Amino acid sequence: MRKLKNEELNRISKEEFKARKKIPVILVLDNVRSMNNVGSIFRTADAFLLEGIYLCGITSQPPHREIEKTALGATSTVAWKYFKNISEAILELRRKDYLIVSVEQTDHNVPLNKFFPLPEKKYALIFGHEMNGISEEAIQMSDLALEVPQYGTKHSLNIAVCAGIVIWDIYSKLQRQ
C-alpha cells in the first residue's frame, strides 16, 4: 500500500464540477459564527457534489481568508447565496419544493440512522449556531428534525463534523437506491 499523489486522484476541474449533476441537497447555515466551520462545510459540499449552500444571518460569506483556510477553494465551485434572515431562505427553498430538515435535538426528531431519503425529493439541511443551535424560527418552519444519535456526556458535535456525518449518511443512502 502507498499513499496516492495529488496527480493520481483524478480531480475534476472547476468547469467539470459545475457541469456535473448535483445531489439534490442544499445546506443552510443559520447564524454559524466560525469561519473555519463555514469553510469546512463548503469543502464537504464540494466533495459530495451538493447543489449549494445558503448562508444566513451572522454567517460569514466568501471571499474571506479565514473561510478559505478550510474551504481550500471550494467557495469557487459550490454555489452559494446569502440571506439576512433564515425565514427568507426557507421560504425560497419551500417555493422550490425542498423538504426543510433541521439537524437539531427536538422533542420530535428522527434519529439519522432511521431516516431514509427518497431519491425523488430535494432536501434543505439546516445547521445552526455553534452554541445556540438552530433558531426557534427555523425549527418552526421545518418539515422534519434529524438528530445524530450520541451516547457520551456531551450530546453535541462540532457543526462541521455533524454536517459531514449527515451529508455522508444521506449521500450513501441515496447512492444505494
Domains and CATH numbers, the chain: 21-176 (3.40.1280.10)
What mean pLDDT do residues 70-83 have? 97
Helix axes 35-47, 159-176, angle to 10 degrees: 10
What single DSSP character describes residue 143?
S
Residue 50 carries which DSSP code? E
Helix, strand or coil, per DSSP, at residue 35:
helix
Q: Can you read off the three cell numbers belonging to residue 85?
A: 434572515
Q: Cis bond leading into 24, ω under 30°?
A: no
Average pLDDT along the chain: 96
Q: What was the pLDDT predicted at 116? A: 97
Q: Is the pLDDT of residue 136 over 90?
A: yes
Model confidence at 177: pLDDT above 80: no
Average pLDDT (16-34) is 96
Asked if 34 and 130 touch (Cβ cutoff 8 Å), the reply is yes
Run of H or E residues at 164: helix 159-176
Distance, in Å, from the CA atom of 58 to the CA atom of 91, rounded to the nearest integer, reads 19
**Euclidean distance between CA atoms 54 and 172, whole angstroms:** 22
* Confidence band, pLDDT 50/70/90 cuts, at residue 155: confident
pLDDT of residue 58: 98
- The pTM of the full predicted model, rounded to 2 decimals, is 0.96
